[in-house]
Structure 1
Amino acid sequence: MKRRKAAVTLAGAMLTVVTWATDAQAQPPPRPVSGYQVVTSTQVQPGSSLSDYQLPCPGTKHVLGGGYDTEGATAANSVDARTSSPTANGTAWRVRIDNSNVGPITVQLFAVCANTAP
């Protein structure tokens, strides 16, 4: 980390301002993406169940984001998402849904995928 010092004159008084900036090499450069694609899947989840879903990106693409939507809940707060996150290897989106309804619900999963440069 490089430390840069700058002197600033304000109304005749000399102030010393110290700022820190990282070397350009210490920060990874932005990774370009191509092949942007939104992958979806619809699942029916039984009532009174806890289910894990994984929606993989096609081929060698990596997940940039994701989420879920539910339909069919009969009571407020009867569906709880316990997890909505990328998998550890970054190639799929994971959702864990707790359906406390007596009946089934429809769960739609979304994964935003793209090719990323190394």
Structure 2
Amino acid sequence: MKHLLLIFLGGGTGSALRYLISGYLNSSESQFYFGTFLVNILGCLLLGFLVGLSLKENSVSGEVMLLLGVGFCGGFTTFSTFGMEMFTLLREENYAMFFRYTGGSLIIGLLSTALGFWLSRSF
């Protein structure tokens, strides 16, 4: 039960923060979903950092991983919104922005995860 509560608290906090950031940064004038892009990149960075720390001498407890890794990062990042935004760009026949957004999200997300993992090694 304690594990579910940790995931619930982290997930709720991450979801609320994602809502605030995306609402503020996803402008109706822009075709690029910067808010979603930013939260996904930050979530990759944080999760990579947490996993790197946990593998380094077990310096992150299982409870912290549930709260921040599973809960917060799971609620903060959003693949379903990313999928809908990609579909919207395709439906609007905005192919150039589709490829920039999709490619940028995947490549920078992977690099951010690796950077987070690398940064954890410095601690």
TM-score band by shorter chain is under 0.3
Calculate the TM-score normalised by the size of structure 2. 0.27
Q: Which one has a bigger Cα radius of gyration?
A: 1
Calculate the TM-score normalised by the size of structure 1. 0.27
Higher relative contact order (CA 8 A, sep 6+): 2
Instruction: Specify which structure has the higher proportion of strand.
Output: 1
Instruction: Specify which structure has the higher proportion of helix.
Output: 2
